[in-house]
Amino acid sequence: MTSPNHPALEATNLWFAYGAGRSGLHGVSFAAEAGEITMVLGASGSGKTTLLKLCKGLLGPQRGEVCVLGRPVVAGRRQRLDPAVAYIPQHLGLVRNLAVLDNVLTGALARVAQLPSLLRHLPAVEHRRAHALLERLGIGHKADEKVHALSGGERQRVAIARALMQEPRLLLADEFVSQLDVHTSRDILTIVRGIADGGVAAVVATHELDLIDRYADAVIVLREGRKVLDRRAKAGSVADFALALRA
Amino acid sequence: MMGRAPRVLAAWLRRAIVLALIVALIGTLHNVGLLDPERLLRAARNLAIFGAGLFPPNPSTLPTLGAAMLETIQIAFAGTAIGFALAVPLALLACPLLFGPVVTAPVKLVLALVRTVPALFWAIVFVVAVGFGPAAGTLAVAVYSLGYLGKLLYETFDGVDPEVIEAVRSVGCSRAQLARYALLPEAANGILALLLFMFEYNVRASSIMGFVGAGGIGFYLVGYIQLLRYDLLLSGLLLTLGVVILIDRLSAVVRRMFLVPVASPVPAE
Protein backbone atom coordinates (compact mmCIF):
# COMPACT_ATOMS: atom_id res chain seq x y z
CA MET A 1 0.00 0.00 0.00
CA THR A 2 1.04 3.57 -0.54
CA SER A 3 2.61 5.16 2.49
CA PRO A 4 0.52 8.07 3.78
CA ASN A 5 3.69 10.21 3.72
CA HIS A 6 4.56 9.61 0.09
CA PRO A 7 2.66 10.12 -3.13
CA ALA A 8 2.56 7.03 -5.37
CA LEU A 9 4.96 8.80 -7.72
CA GLU A 10 7.17 11.75 -6.97
CA ALA A 11 9.48 13.16 -9.64
CA THR A 12 11.82 15.89 -8.46
CA ASN A 13 13.77 18.28 -10.68
CA LEU A 14 14.27 15.84 -13.56
CA TRP A 15 16.84 16.76 -16.17
CA PHE A 16 17.51 14.67 -19.22
CA ALA A 17 19.24 15.50 -22.50
CA TYR A 18 19.43 13.43 -25.66
CA GLY A 19 22.04 14.19 -28.30
CA ALA A 20 22.07 17.44 -30.21
CA GLY A 21 18.85 18.45 -31.92
CA ARG A 22 16.50 16.41 -29.72
CA SER A 23 14.85 18.03 -26.76
CA GLY A 24 14.84 16.30 -23.38
CA LEU A 25 13.58 17.47 -20.01
CA HIS A 26 14.55 20.57 -18.07
CA GLY A 27 13.93 20.40 -14.32
CA VAL A 28 10.48 18.81 -14.32
CA SER A 29 8.87 17.95 -10.98
CA PHE A 30 5.45 16.48 -10.35
CA ALA A 31 3.61 14.00 -8.18
CA ALA A 32 0.86 11.49 -8.86
CA GLU A 33 -1.49 10.21 -6.19
CA ALA A 34 -2.98 6.77 -5.76
CA GLY A 35 -6.57 6.53 -6.99
CA GLU A 36 -6.12 9.36 -9.48
CA ILE A 37 -5.47 9.80 -13.19
CA THR A 38 -2.76 12.35 -13.87
CA MET A 39 -2.68 13.41 -17.49
CA VAL A 40 0.57 14.65 -18.99
CA LEU A 41 -0.35 16.96 -21.84
CA GLY A 42 2.05 18.11 -24.50
CA ALA A 43 2.64 18.35 -28.21
CA SER A 44 4.89 15.86 -30.02
CA GLY A 45 8.47 16.29 -28.83
CA SER A 46 7.48 18.06 -25.61
CA GLY A 47 9.09 15.38 -23.42
CA LYS A 48 6.09 13.25 -22.41
CA THR A 49 7.65 9.93 -23.42
CA THR A 50 10.98 10.86 -21.83
CA LEU A 51 9.21 11.74 -18.58
CA LEU A 52 7.35 8.41 -18.48
CA LYS A 53 10.51 6.44 -19.30
CA LEU A 54 12.35 8.22 -16.49
CA CYS A 55 9.50 7.33 -14.12
CA LYS A 56 9.72 3.67 -15.19
CA GLY A 57 13.53 3.51 -14.97
CA LEU A 58 13.99 2.82 -18.68
CA LEU A 59 16.05 6.03 -18.74
CA GLY A 60 18.12 7.51 -15.93
CA PRO A 61 17.92 11.24 -15.22
CA GLN A 62 21.11 13.29 -15.52
CA ARG A 63 19.85 15.23 -12.52
CA GLY A 64 16.92 14.78 -10.17
CA GLU A 65 15.18 11.74 -8.73
CA VAL A 66 12.07 9.65 -9.20
CA CYS A 67 10.51 7.89 -6.21
CA VAL A 68 7.72 5.33 -6.44
CA LEU A 69 5.93 4.67 -3.16
CA GLY A 70 8.79 6.48 -1.45
CA ARG A 71 11.52 4.28 -2.97
CA PRO A 72 13.96 5.73 -5.53
CA VAL A 73 13.68 4.27 -9.03
CA VAL A 74 16.96 2.67 -10.12
CA ALA A 75 17.51 2.98 -13.86
CA GLY A 76 19.83 0.91 -16.02
CA ARG A 77 19.89 -0.67 -19.43
CA ARG A 78 20.11 -4.20 -18.07
CA GLN A 79 18.71 -3.53 -14.58
CA ARG A 80 15.69 -5.57 -13.42
CA LEU A 81 12.81 -3.13 -13.21
CA ASP A 82 10.14 -2.78 -10.52
CA PRO A 83 7.01 -4.77 -11.48
CA ALA A 84 4.90 -2.50 -9.25
CA VAL A 85 5.22 0.12 -12.00
CA ALA A 86 3.42 -0.93 -15.18
CA TYR A 87 4.32 0.80 -18.43
CA ILE A 88 2.30 0.80 -21.65
CA PRO A 89 4.27 2.36 -24.51
CA GLN A 90 2.68 4.31 -27.33
CA HIS A 91 2.49 1.35 -29.71
CA LEU A 92 1.77 -1.02 -26.81
CA GLY A 93 4.88 -3.20 -27.19
CA LEU A 94 2.93 -6.43 -27.57
CA VAL A 95 4.80 -9.47 -28.87
CA ARG A 96 3.17 -10.21 -32.24
CA ASN A 97 4.20 -13.84 -32.42
CA LEU A 98 2.75 -14.70 -29.00
CA ALA A 99 -0.89 -15.45 -28.33
CA VAL A 100 -3.00 -12.96 -26.37
CA LEU A 101 -2.85 -15.12 -23.23
CA ASP A 102 0.95 -15.44 -23.44
CA ASN A 103 1.30 -11.67 -23.80
CA VAL A 104 -0.78 -11.21 -20.66
CA LEU A 105 1.17 -13.88 -18.79
CA THR A 106 4.42 -11.97 -19.37
CA GLY A 107 3.07 -9.56 -16.75
CA ALA A 108 3.64 -12.28 -14.12
CA LEU A 109 7.26 -13.05 -15.03
CA ALA A 110 8.79 -11.13 -12.13
CA ARG A 111 7.11 -13.33 -9.51
CA VAL A 112 7.36 -16.81 -11.04
CA ALA A 113 10.22 -19.32 -10.85
CA GLN A 114 12.88 -18.75 -13.52
CA LEU A 115 13.51 -22.20 -14.95
CA PRO A 116 9.90 -23.34 -15.46
CA SER A 117 9.07 -19.94 -16.95
CA LEU A 118 11.84 -20.39 -19.53
CA LEU A 119 10.14 -23.65 -20.52
CA ARG A 120 6.86 -21.71 -20.80
CA HIS A 121 5.46 -23.44 -17.69
CA LEU A 122 3.75 -20.84 -15.54
CA PRO A 123 1.72 -21.73 -12.44
CA ALA A 124 -1.97 -22.51 -12.95
CA VAL A 125 -2.93 -19.65 -10.65
CA GLU A 126 -1.28 -17.20 -13.09
CA HIS A 127 -3.19 -18.73 -15.99
CA ARG A 128 -6.44 -18.34 -14.05
CA ARG A 129 -5.57 -14.74 -13.20
CA ALA A 130 -4.75 -13.94 -16.85
CA HIS A 131 -7.99 -15.53 -18.07
CA ALA A 132 -9.96 -13.59 -15.44
CA LEU A 133 -8.37 -10.30 -16.55
CA LEU A 134 -9.13 -11.00 -20.20
CA GLU A 135 -12.74 -11.80 -19.28
CA ARG A 136 -12.98 -8.60 -17.23
CA LEU A 137 -11.71 -6.59 -20.20
CA GLY A 138 -14.14 -8.28 -22.58
CA ILE A 139 -11.65 -10.27 -24.68
CA GLY A 140 -11.70 -13.62 -22.91
CA HIS A 141 -12.75 -15.29 -26.17
CA LYS A 142 -9.55 -14.03 -27.87
CA ALA A 143 -7.13 -15.66 -25.41
CA ASP A 144 -5.65 -18.08 -27.94
CA GLU A 145 -5.43 -15.70 -30.89
CA LYS A 146 -2.19 -14.15 -32.06
CA VAL A 147 -1.92 -10.44 -31.31
CA HIS A 148 -1.43 -9.45 -34.95
CA ALA A 149 -4.95 -10.65 -35.74
CA LEU A 150 -6.63 -8.31 -33.21
CA SER A 151 -8.24 -4.91 -33.74
CA GLY A 152 -6.70 -1.74 -32.27
CA GLY A 153 -9.07 -1.63 -29.29
CA GLU A 154 -8.52 -5.31 -28.54
CA ARG A 155 -4.76 -4.81 -28.57
CA GLN A 156 -5.18 -1.95 -26.13
CA ARG A 157 -7.08 -4.26 -23.80
CA VAL A 158 -4.34 -6.89 -24.06
CA ALA A 159 -1.75 -4.26 -23.09
CA ILE A 160 -3.89 -3.21 -20.13
CA ALA A 161 -4.37 -6.83 -19.07
CA ARG A 162 -0.59 -7.37 -19.20
CA ALA A 163 -0.10 -4.25 -17.07
CA LEU A 164 -2.73 -5.39 -14.54
CA MET A 165 -1.12 -8.82 -14.41
CA GLN A 166 1.83 -7.06 -12.76
CA GLU A 167 -0.50 -6.02 -9.92
CA PRO A 168 0.86 -2.49 -10.23
CA ARG A 169 0.62 0.40 -7.80
CA LEU A 170 1.45 2.82 -10.61
CA LEU A 171 0.37 2.64 -14.25
CA LEU A 172 2.25 4.69 -16.85
CA ALA A 173 0.56 4.89 -20.25
CA ASP A 174 2.19 6.75 -23.12
CA GLU A 175 -0.30 8.10 -25.71
CA PHE A 176 -1.74 4.64 -25.87
CA VAL A 177 -5.17 5.74 -27.15
CA SER A 178 -3.87 8.22 -29.70
CA GLN A 179 -4.52 5.92 -32.66
CA LEU A 180 -8.04 4.91 -31.67
CA ASP A 181 -11.38 6.41 -32.63
CA VAL A 182 -13.14 8.54 -30.01
CA HIS A 183 -15.57 5.82 -28.96
CA THR A 184 -12.85 3.20 -28.38
CA SER A 185 -10.59 5.77 -26.66
CA ARG A 186 -13.35 6.47 -24.18
CA ASP A 187 -13.94 2.77 -23.57
CA ILE A 188 -10.25 2.28 -22.83
CA LEU A 189 -10.00 5.33 -20.57
CA THR A 190 -13.10 4.17 -18.69
CA ILE A 191 -11.16 0.98 -17.98
CA VAL A 192 -8.20 3.08 -16.77
CA ARG A 193 -10.61 5.06 -14.57
CA GLY A 194 -11.75 1.80 -13.01
CA ILE A 195 -8.13 0.77 -12.40
CA ALA A 196 -7.41 4.10 -10.70
CA ASP A 197 -10.53 3.79 -8.60
CA GLY A 198 -9.05 0.52 -7.35
CA GLY A 199 -6.21 2.49 -5.73
CA VAL A 200 -3.68 2.58 -8.55
CA ALA A 201 -2.03 5.85 -9.57
CA ALA A 202 -2.37 6.28 -13.34
CA VAL A 203 -0.21 8.66 -15.36
CA VAL A 204 -1.44 9.00 -18.94
CA ALA A 205 0.50 10.99 -21.52
CA THR A 206 -1.65 12.47 -24.25
CA HIS A 207 -2.00 15.38 -26.61
CA GLU A 208 -5.79 15.12 -26.74
CA LEU A 209 -7.42 17.90 -24.74
CA ASP A 210 -10.93 16.51 -24.95
CA LEU A 211 -10.03 13.59 -22.68
CA ILE A 212 -9.23 15.86 -19.72
CA ASP A 213 -12.75 16.90 -18.76
CA ARG A 214 -14.03 13.40 -18.46
CA TYR A 215 -11.08 11.44 -17.10
CA ALA A 216 -8.30 13.55 -15.53
CA ASP A 217 -7.95 14.33 -11.84
CA ALA A 218 -4.71 16.28 -12.28
CA VAL A 219 -3.04 17.70 -15.35
CA ILE A 220 0.50 18.76 -16.07
CA VAL A 221 1.42 20.46 -19.32
CA LEU A 222 4.85 20.09 -20.90
CA ARG A 223 6.28 22.36 -23.56
CA GLU A 224 9.75 21.86 -25.02
CA GLY A 225 10.80 19.75 -22.05
CA ARG A 226 9.60 22.20 -19.41
CA LYS A 227 6.57 21.95 -17.16
CA VAL A 228 4.42 24.99 -17.86
CA LEU A 229 1.31 24.05 -15.90
CA ASP A 230 0.46 21.73 -12.99
CA ARG A 231 -3.13 21.91 -11.85
CA ARG A 232 -6.10 19.91 -10.60
CA ALA A 233 -8.27 19.16 -13.62
CA LYS A 234 -11.33 20.75 -12.03
CA ALA A 235 -9.37 23.95 -11.30
CA GLY A 236 -8.85 24.71 -14.97
CA SER A 237 -10.85 24.69 -18.17
CA VAL A 238 -9.92 22.98 -21.42
CA ALA A 239 -9.22 26.47 -22.77
CA ASP A 240 -6.63 27.05 -20.00
CA PHE A 241 -4.83 23.84 -20.87
CA ALA A 242 -5.01 24.60 -24.60
CA LEU A 243 -3.50 28.00 -23.94
CA ALA A 244 -0.69 26.49 -21.87
CA LEU A 245 0.04 24.03 -24.67
CA ARG A 246 0.41 26.71 -27.31
CA ALA A 247 1.61 29.80 -25.47
CA MET B 1 31.68 29.67 -57.39
CA MET B 2 34.46 27.62 -58.97
CA GLY B 3 36.61 29.52 -61.48
CA ARG B 4 37.27 28.26 -65.02
CA ALA B 5 40.82 27.05 -64.33
CA PRO B 6 39.92 24.82 -61.33
CA ARG B 7 36.95 23.42 -63.31
CA VAL B 8 39.23 22.44 -66.22
CA LEU B 9 41.71 20.96 -63.73
CA ALA B 10 38.96 18.91 -62.05
CA ALA B 11 37.75 17.64 -65.45
CA TRP B 12 41.33 16.59 -66.40
CA LEU B 13 41.74 14.93 -63.01
CA ARG B 14 38.56 12.90 -63.56
CA ARG B 15 39.77 11.85 -67.03
CA ALA B 16 43.18 10.89 -65.61
CA ILE B 17 41.55 8.71 -62.93
CA VAL B 18 39.34 6.93 -65.51
CA LEU B 19 42.39 6.39 -67.76
CA ALA B 20 44.44 5.05 -64.82
CA LEU B 21 41.64 2.58 -63.98
CA ILE B 22 41.48 1.39 -67.61
CA VAL B 23 45.28 0.90 -67.70
CA ALA B 24 45.14 -0.97 -64.37
CA LEU B 25 42.38 -3.25 -65.72
CA ILE B 26 44.33 -4.03 -68.91
CA GLY B 27 47.49 -4.72 -66.87
CA THR B 28 45.55 -7.06 -64.56
CA LEU B 29 43.93 -8.95 -67.46
CA HIS B 30 47.41 -9.39 -69.01
CA ASN B 31 48.88 -10.62 -65.70
CA VAL B 32 46.15 -13.23 -65.23
CA GLY B 33 46.68 -14.42 -68.81
CA LEU B 34 43.41 -13.27 -70.32
CA LEU B 35 45.05 -11.19 -73.06
CA ASP B 36 46.92 -14.17 -74.50
CA PRO B 37 45.15 -14.95 -77.82
CA GLU B 38 46.66 -18.42 -78.08
CA ARG B 39 45.46 -19.26 -74.57
CA LEU B 40 41.99 -17.86 -75.24
CA LEU B 41 41.72 -19.94 -78.41
CA ARG B 42 42.75 -23.06 -76.51
CA ALA B 43 40.18 -22.25 -73.79
CA ALA B 44 37.43 -21.90 -76.40
CA ARG B 45 38.41 -25.25 -77.93
CA ASN B 46 38.43 -26.93 -74.50
CA LEU B 47 35.06 -25.43 -73.63
CA ALA B 48 33.62 -26.73 -76.87
CA ILE B 49 34.93 -30.25 -76.09
CA PHE B 50 33.59 -29.94 -72.52
CA GLY B 51 30.21 -28.70 -73.76
CA ALA B 52 29.94 -31.46 -76.33
CA GLY B 53 30.89 -34.02 -73.68
CA LEU B 54 28.08 -32.88 -71.40
CA PHE B 55 25.33 -33.85 -73.83
CA PRO B 56 23.32 -35.89 -73.75
CA PRO B 57 23.30 -36.38 -69.96
CA ASN B 58 23.85 -39.99 -69.00
CA PRO B 59 21.31 -41.19 -66.41
CA SER B 60 22.94 -44.59 -65.87
CA THR B 61 24.42 -43.62 -62.51
CA LEU B 62 21.29 -41.83 -61.22
CA PRO B 63 20.55 -44.46 -58.52
CA THR B 64 24.05 -43.95 -57.11
CA LEU B 65 23.81 -40.17 -57.50
CA GLY B 66 20.36 -40.19 -55.88
CA ALA B 67 21.74 -41.96 -52.81
CA ALA B 68 24.66 -39.49 -52.69
CA MET B 69 22.25 -36.58 -53.07
CA LEU B 70 20.23 -37.88 -50.15
CA GLU B 71 23.46 -37.99 -48.14
CA THR B 72 24.18 -34.39 -49.21
CA ILE B 73 20.75 -33.28 -47.98
CA GLN B 74 21.31 -35.14 -44.72
CA ILE B 75 24.68 -33.40 -44.27
CA ALA B 76 23.05 -30.02 -44.91
CA PHE B 77 20.06 -30.77 -42.66
CA ALA B 78 22.02 -32.11 -39.68
CA GLY B 79 24.80 -29.52 -40.11
CA THR B 80 22.32 -26.64 -40.23
CA ALA B 81 20.44 -27.97 -37.20
CA ILE B 82 23.62 -28.39 -35.10
CA GLY B 83 24.95 -25.00 -36.24
CA PHE B 84 21.63 -23.33 -35.39
CA ALA B 85 21.44 -24.98 -31.95
CA LEU B 86 24.92 -23.64 -31.16
CA ALA B 87 24.36 -20.26 -32.81
CA VAL B 88 21.22 -19.24 -30.86
CA PRO B 89 22.83 -19.17 -27.38
CA LEU B 90 25.96 -17.52 -28.76
CA ALA B 91 23.88 -14.90 -30.60
CA LEU B 92 22.02 -14.15 -27.37
CA LEU B 93 25.36 -13.75 -25.57
CA ALA B 94 26.43 -11.35 -28.33
CA CYS B 95 23.24 -9.29 -28.06
CA PRO B 96 23.85 -5.86 -26.47
CA LEU B 97 20.23 -5.71 -25.29
CA LEU B 98 21.05 -8.53 -22.87
CA PHE B 99 24.75 -8.24 -22.07
CA GLY B 100 27.45 -5.62 -21.81
CA PRO B 101 30.53 -5.39 -24.04
CA VAL B 102 32.57 -7.58 -21.64
CA VAL B 103 30.43 -10.53 -22.78
CA THR B 104 29.36 -9.47 -26.28
CA ALA B 105 32.80 -8.49 -27.64
CA PRO B 106 34.57 -11.87 -27.06
CA VAL B 107 31.59 -13.81 -28.40
CA LYS B 108 31.48 -11.65 -31.52
CA LEU B 109 35.22 -12.20 -31.95
CA VAL B 110 34.83 -15.99 -31.73
CA LEU B 111 32.03 -15.90 -34.33
CA ALA B 112 34.17 -13.72 -36.62
CA LEU B 113 37.09 -16.14 -36.31
CA VAL B 114 34.83 -19.09 -37.19
CA ARG B 115 33.55 -17.19 -40.23
CA THR B 116 37.01 -16.45 -41.62
CA VAL B 117 37.59 -20.16 -42.36
CA PRO B 118 35.88 -21.38 -45.60
CA ALA B 119 33.52 -24.37 -45.42
CA LEU B 120 35.84 -26.53 -47.53
CA PHE B 121 38.71 -25.88 -45.13
CA TRP B 122 36.51 -26.94 -42.20
CA ALA B 123 35.74 -30.11 -44.20
CA ILE B 124 39.48 -30.86 -44.48
CA VAL B 125 39.90 -30.22 -40.74
CA PHE B 126 37.10 -32.64 -39.86
CA VAL B 127 38.23 -35.28 -42.39
CA VAL B 128 41.53 -35.22 -40.47
CA ALA B 129 39.63 -35.39 -37.18
CA VAL B 130 36.93 -38.00 -37.84
CA GLY B 131 38.02 -39.56 -41.14
CA PHE B 132 36.43 -39.60 -44.62
CA GLY B 133 32.64 -39.59 -44.93
CA PRO B 134 29.50 -37.61 -44.17
CA ALA B 135 30.32 -37.15 -40.45
CA ALA B 136 33.18 -34.82 -41.43
CA GLY B 137 30.92 -32.95 -43.87
CA THR B 138 28.17 -32.57 -41.26
CA LEU B 139 30.59 -31.13 -38.69
CA ALA B 140 32.07 -28.79 -41.30
CA VAL B 141 28.62 -27.49 -42.27
CA ALA B 142 27.71 -27.14 -38.58
CA VAL B 143 30.74 -25.01 -37.72
CA TYR B 144 30.43 -22.93 -40.88
CA SER B 145 26.71 -22.35 -40.15
CA LEU B 146 27.51 -21.45 -36.55
CA GLY B 147 29.74 -18.58 -37.69
CA TYR B 148 27.23 -17.13 -40.11
CA LEU B 149 24.00 -17.84 -38.24
CA GLY B 150 25.54 -16.48 -35.03
CA LYS B 151 26.27 -13.15 -36.67
CA LEU B 152 23.01 -12.94 -38.60
CA LEU B 153 20.99 -13.88 -35.52
CA TYR B 154 22.51 -11.27 -33.22
CA GLU B 155 21.94 -8.69 -35.93
CA THR B 156 18.31 -9.86 -36.11
CA PHE B 157 17.97 -9.51 -32.33
CA ASP B 158 19.40 -5.99 -32.56
CA GLY B 159 16.66 -5.17 -35.05
CA VAL B 160 13.76 -6.18 -32.78
CA ASP B 161 11.33 -3.32 -32.10
CA PRO B 162 12.82 -1.54 -29.04
CA GLU B 163 9.33 -0.72 -27.79
CA VAL B 164 8.52 -4.42 -27.42
CA ILE B 165 11.76 -4.93 -25.50
CA GLU B 166 11.00 -1.97 -23.24
CA ALA B 167 7.44 -3.16 -22.63
CA VAL B 168 8.49 -6.68 -21.65
CA ARG B 169 11.48 -5.42 -19.61
CA SER B 170 9.05 -3.20 -17.75
CA VAL B 171 7.28 -6.18 -16.19
CA GLY B 172 10.45 -6.76 -14.15
CA CYS B 173 11.58 -9.96 -15.88
CA SER B 174 15.13 -11.35 -15.97
CA ARG B 175 17.37 -11.23 -19.03
CA ALA B 176 16.73 -14.90 -19.77
CA GLN B 177 12.97 -14.31 -19.60
CA LEU B 178 13.34 -11.25 -21.82
CA ALA B 179 15.08 -13.42 -24.42
CA ARG B 180 12.47 -16.18 -24.09
CA TYR B 181 9.34 -14.00 -24.13
CA ALA B 182 10.35 -11.02 -26.26
CA LEU B 183 13.53 -11.40 -28.32
CA LEU B 184 13.03 -14.92 -29.66
CA PRO B 185 9.30 -14.70 -30.48
CA GLU B 186 9.60 -11.18 -31.88
CA ALA B 187 12.57 -12.21 -34.05
CA ALA B 188 10.89 -15.48 -35.08
CA ASN B 189 10.20 -14.28 -38.64
CA GLY B 190 13.84 -13.36 -39.16
CA ILE B 191 15.08 -16.53 -37.47
CA LEU B 192 12.94 -18.78 -39.67
CA ALA B 193 13.96 -16.91 -42.84
CA LEU B 194 17.65 -17.22 -41.88
CA LEU B 195 17.30 -20.89 -41.05
CA LEU B 196 15.67 -21.68 -44.41
CA PHE B 197 18.23 -19.59 -46.28
CA MET B 198 21.10 -21.34 -44.45
CA PHE B 199 19.66 -24.78 -45.22
CA GLU B 200 19.30 -23.93 -48.92
CA TYR B 201 22.83 -22.55 -48.95
CA ASN B 202 24.19 -25.60 -47.11
CA VAL B 203 22.64 -28.02 -49.63
CA ARG B 204 24.72 -26.29 -52.31
CA ALA B 205 27.78 -26.09 -50.04
CA SER B 206 27.45 -29.78 -49.10
CA SER B 207 27.51 -30.68 -52.79
CA ILE B 208 31.21 -29.93 -52.88
CA MET B 209 32.15 -31.43 -49.50
CA GLY B 210 32.88 -34.68 -51.34
CA PHE B 211 35.73 -32.93 -53.22
CA VAL B 212 37.81 -33.42 -50.07
CA GLY B 213 36.23 -36.72 -49.02
CA ALA B 214 33.66 -35.30 -46.61
CA GLY B 215 30.70 -37.20 -48.08
CA GLY B 216 27.82 -36.40 -50.38
CA ILE B 217 27.41 -36.06 -54.15
CA GLY B 218 30.62 -34.00 -54.53
CA PHE B 219 32.72 -37.19 -54.31
CA TYR B 220 31.07 -38.47 -57.52
CA LEU B 221 31.08 -35.08 -59.29
CA VAL B 222 34.84 -34.62 -58.84
CA GLY B 223 35.37 -38.25 -59.89
CA TYR B 224 33.44 -37.73 -63.15
CA ILE B 225 35.55 -34.62 -63.88
CA GLN B 226 38.77 -36.53 -63.29
CA LEU B 227 37.55 -39.38 -65.55
CA LEU B 228 36.40 -36.84 -68.21
CA ARG B 229 32.85 -38.31 -67.97
CA TYR B 230 31.06 -35.02 -68.49
CA ASP B 231 27.77 -36.72 -69.46
CA LEU B 232 27.61 -38.30 -66.00
CA LEU B 233 28.66 -34.98 -64.47
CA LEU B 234 25.72 -33.22 -66.15
CA SER B 235 23.32 -35.79 -64.69
CA GLY B 236 24.70 -35.04 -61.23
CA LEU B 237 24.48 -31.28 -61.77
CA LEU B 238 20.89 -31.52 -63.06
CA LEU B 239 19.95 -33.66 -60.06
CA THR B 240 21.49 -31.03 -57.73
CA LEU B 241 19.65 -28.25 -59.57
CA GLY B 242 16.34 -30.15 -59.25
CA VAL B 243 16.84 -30.67 -55.52
CA VAL B 244 17.79 -27.02 -54.95
CA ILE B 245 14.65 -25.86 -56.81
CA LEU B 246 12.53 -28.32 -54.82
CA ILE B 247 13.97 -27.07 -51.51
CA ASP B 248 13.40 -23.48 -52.62
CA ARG B 249 9.70 -24.31 -53.26
CA LEU B 250 9.37 -26.12 -49.94
CA SER B 251 10.97 -23.13 -48.17
CA ALA B 252 8.38 -20.83 -49.74
CA VAL B 253 5.59 -23.08 -48.43
CA VAL B 254 7.11 -23.14 -44.92
CA ARG B 255 7.47 -19.35 -44.97
CA ARG B 256 3.82 -18.91 -45.93
CA MET B 257 2.74 -21.31 -43.19
CA PHE B 258 4.70 -19.82 -40.32
CA LEU B 259 5.63 -16.21 -40.96
CA VAL B 260 3.59 -13.48 -39.29
CA PRO B 261 2.64 -10.55 -41.57
CA VAL B 262 5.33 -7.90 -41.09
CA ALA B 263 3.05 -4.89 -41.35
CA SER B 264 0.48 -6.45 -39.04
CA PRO B 265 -2.23 -3.93 -39.94
CA VAL B 266 -4.83 -3.05 -37.33
CA PRO B 267 -8.24 -4.27 -38.53
CA ALA B 268 -11.09 -1.82 -38.33
CA GLU B 269 -13.19 -1.71 -35.17
Query: In three state form, how does the secondary structure of chain A look?
Result: CCCCCCCCEEEEEEEECCCCCCCCEEEEEEEECCCCEEEEECCCCCCHHHHHHHHHCCCCCCEEEEEECCEECCCCCCCCCCCCEEEECCCCCCCCCCEHHHHHHHHHHHHCCHHHHHCCCCCHHHHHHHHHHHHHCCCHHHCCCEHHHCCHHHHHHHHHHHHHHCCCCEEEEECCCCCCCHHHHHHHHHHHHHHHHCCCEEEEEECCHHHHHHHCCEEEEEECCEEEEEEEHHHCCHHHHHHHHHC
Q: Assess if residue B200 is contained within a domain.
A: yes
**Tens digits of residue pLDDT in A151-166:** 988 999 999 999 999 9
Q: Assess if residue A54 is contained within a domain.
A: yes
Q: Assess if residue B88 is contained within a domain.
A: yes
- Same-domain check for residues A6 and A79: yes
Whether the per-residue pLDDT at B266 is higher than 50: the answer is no
Domain containing A199 equals 1-84+170-247
- The answer to whether A38 and A54 are in contact (CB under 8 A) is no
Enumerate the residues of chain B whose CB falls inside 8 A of the CB of residue A91.
161, 163
- Same-domain check for residues A147 and A203: no
Question: Which of B 96-125 lie inside 8 A of A, CB atoms?
Answer: 98-100
Q: Which pLDDT belongs to residue A36?
A: 96
Lowest-pLDDT choice from A5-9, B143-147, B168-172:
A5-9
Q: Could you tell me if A181 lies within 8 Å of chain B, comparing CB atoms?
A: yes
- Same-domain check for residues A178 and A228: yes
Whether the per-residue pLDDT at B260 is higher than 70: the answer is no
Task: Provide the number of structural domains found in chain A.
Answer: 2
Q: Could you tell me if B239 lies within 8 Å of chain A, comparing CB atoms?
A: no
Whether the per-residue pLDDT at A243 is higher than 90: the answer is no
Enumerate the residues of chain B whose CB falls inside 8 A of the CB of residue A117.
177, 180
Q: Which pLDDT belongs to residue B186?
A: 93
Q: Assess if residue A90 is contained within a domain.
A: no
Whether the per-residue pLDDT at B269 is higher than 50: the answer is no
**Tens digits of residue pLDDT in B234-256:** 999 999 999 989 998 998 898 88
Q: Which pLDDT belongs to residue A108?
A: 97
Q: Which pLDDT belongs to residue B2?
A: 62
- Same-domain check for residues A137 and A207: no
Domain containing B192 equals 59-257
Q: Assess if residue B69 is contained within a domain.
A: yes
Size of interface A-B (CB pairs under 8 A): 111
Q: Which pLDDT belongs to residue B267?
A: 42
What pLDDT band is residue A21 in, cutting at 50, 70 and 90? low
What pLDDT band is residue A109 in, cutting at 50, 70 and 90? very high
Q: Which of A145, A167, A189 is the last residue of a domain?
A: A167
Q: Which pLDDT belongs to residue A1?
A: 46
Q: Which pLDDT belongs to residue A214?
A: 86
